[in-house]
């Protein structure tokens, strides 16, 4: 059965396309993921939040562990927040985990523990935006709903050789409207997820046009613009930071910086650190001697690119440092760390004495 749709965007040509092209391609080439095995609203919601700015292959073990710990919305709502953050450790953007738990509590209190099946109510839930709401409606409830992420934006802008700035909300809105028009009446969720899969595996930043089922319809391909689109004017400017990390060891204890509410690394422990230029000042202040260099660690968060230079010092008595606390080495394993400082911790043997 043909599913012919009228395909056009403002300023582009209009023509018919059989959306079965995408549907058939997706059924044949879709990757197998645990969240696709049980398309419950809760599974879809958690997986889509985890997949934001994270590769699917990285998400798989996190998703599986998460569902073991928090198998239902109610289990997540009732969990210890520290346990939730620990389960998220390593995925970054920890506000996503906090929003998931806040959203779970909201669903229990306002929606009897069930994710709503309409866009308006889904958008009321903490952390659920247009894309996630569309994904839940499409994949879990199998509605005709647009879920427009970066993958879909790449496919659509190339398909129509759309040169408008995708950093502008009006451009994204225009694409979302066209995706809704693009979706067929029969099994629209297969086409919707097919567009996402196509952007994730074929129509990537460096497109593999030879593998694309839409190549014969792609205006960017015909015009030689496939590597130039999509166009985005706003570039993220990253700030580089270089820090000395003090790994202070007293017997079998380590000194850690306590997390503070409202900071970027809220809920996450770190070793005390200073900007590289202040290293000598703090060595003198703490009267440190005989430090040993650990391996340099590079990590990123939000708009920062950070180079950590960890140094380990063995001291005879525990220093009292404002904002820090001493922890036994075995206790440290139970705490949630920022990714960079977790990699510093991994260089320190568990059985330190």
Domain architecture of the chain: domains with CATH: 4-223 (1.10.340.30), 239-345 (3.90.79.10)
The whole-number pLDDT of residue 351 equals 57
**Backbone torsions φ then ψ of 347, nearest 5 degrees:** -85, -5
Question: Helix 188-201 vs helix 150-159: angle between axes, to the nearest 10 degrees?
Answer: 90
Q: Per the confidence metrics, is the pTM higher than 0.85?
A: no
Catalytic residues: 48
The whole-number pLDDT of residue 5 equals 54
The whole-number pLDDT of residue 11 equals 54
**Cβ-count burial of 47 within 10 angstroms (0-12 exposed, 13-18 middle, 19+ buried)?**
buried
Give the distance, in angstroms, between the CA of residue 83 and the centroid of all CA atoms in the same chain: 19
**Backbone torsions φ then ψ of 170, nearest 5 degrees:** -65, -30
116, 122 in Cβ contact below 8 A?
yes
Strands 297-301 and 292-293 come out as: unpaired
CA distance 288 to 291: 7
The whole-number pLDDT of residue 16 equals 55
| Residue 115: strand, helix, or coil | coil
Among the listed residues 5, 93, 4, 47, the one whose alpha carbon sits nearest the alpha carbon of residue 193: 47
User: How many Cα atoms within 13 Å fall on the side-chain side of residue 237?
Assistant: 2
CA distance 116 to 105: 14
pLDDT in tens, the chain (353 residues): 445 555 555 555 555 567 888 999 999 999 999 998 888 999 999 999 999 888 889 999 999 999 999 999 999 999 999 999 999 988 888 889 999 999 999 999 999 999 999 999 999 999 999 999 999 999 999 999 999 999 999 999 998 888 888 888 899 998 998 888 888 888 999 999 999 999 999 999 999 999 999 998 888 998 889 888 898 887 777 889 999 999 999 988 999 998 777 777 778 899 999 998 898 889 888 988 888 899 999 988 778 889 999 999 999 888 888 889 999 988 898 898 988 999 999 888 765 44
The whole-number pLDDT of residue 53 equals 82
Neighbours of 252 (CB within 10 A): 14
């Amino acid at each position: 059965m043909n599913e012919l749709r009228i395909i056009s965007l403002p300023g582009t040509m209009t023509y018919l396309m059989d959306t079965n092209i995408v549907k058939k391609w997706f059924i044949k080439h879709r990757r197998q993921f645990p969240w696709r095995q049980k398309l419950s609203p809760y599974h879809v919601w958690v997986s889509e939040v985890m997949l934001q700015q994270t590769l699917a292959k990285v998400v798989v073990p996190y998703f599986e562990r998460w569902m073991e710990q928090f198998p239902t919305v109610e289990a997540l709502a009732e969990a210890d927040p520290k346990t939730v953050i620990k389960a998220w450790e390593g995925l970054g953007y920890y506000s996503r985990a906090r929003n998931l738990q806040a959203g779970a509590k909201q669903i229990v209190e306002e929606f009897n523990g069930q994710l709503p099946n309409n866009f308006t109510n889904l958008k009321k839930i903490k952390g659920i935006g247009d894309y996630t709401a569309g994904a839940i409606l499409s994949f879990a409830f199998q509605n005709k709903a647009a879920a427009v992420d970066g993958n879909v934006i790449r496919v659509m802008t190339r398909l129509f050789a759309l040169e408008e700035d995708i950093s502008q909300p009006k451009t994204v809105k225009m694409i979302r409207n066209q995706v809704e028009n693009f979706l067929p009446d029969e099994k629209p969720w297969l086409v919707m997820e097919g567009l996402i899969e196509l952007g994730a595996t074929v129509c990537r930043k460096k497109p593999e046009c030879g593998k694309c089922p839409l190549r014969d319809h792609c205006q960017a391909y015909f015009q030689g613009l496939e590597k130039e689109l999509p166009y985005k004017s706003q570039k993220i400017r990253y700030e580089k930071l270089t820090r000395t990390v003090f790994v202070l060891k007293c017997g079998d204890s380590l000194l850690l910086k306590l997390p503070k509410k409202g900071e970027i690394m809220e809920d996450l422990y770190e070793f005390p650190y200073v900007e590289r230029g202040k290293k000598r000042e703090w060595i003198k202040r703490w009267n440190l001697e005989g430090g040993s260099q650990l391996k340099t660690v590079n990590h990123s968060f939000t708009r920062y690119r950070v180079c950590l230079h960890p140094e380990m010092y063995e001291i005879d008595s525990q220093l009292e440092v404002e904002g820090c606390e001493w922890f036994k080495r075995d206790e440290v394993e139970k705490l949630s760390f920022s990714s960079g400082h977790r990699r510093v911790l991994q260089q320190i043997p568990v059985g330190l004495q």
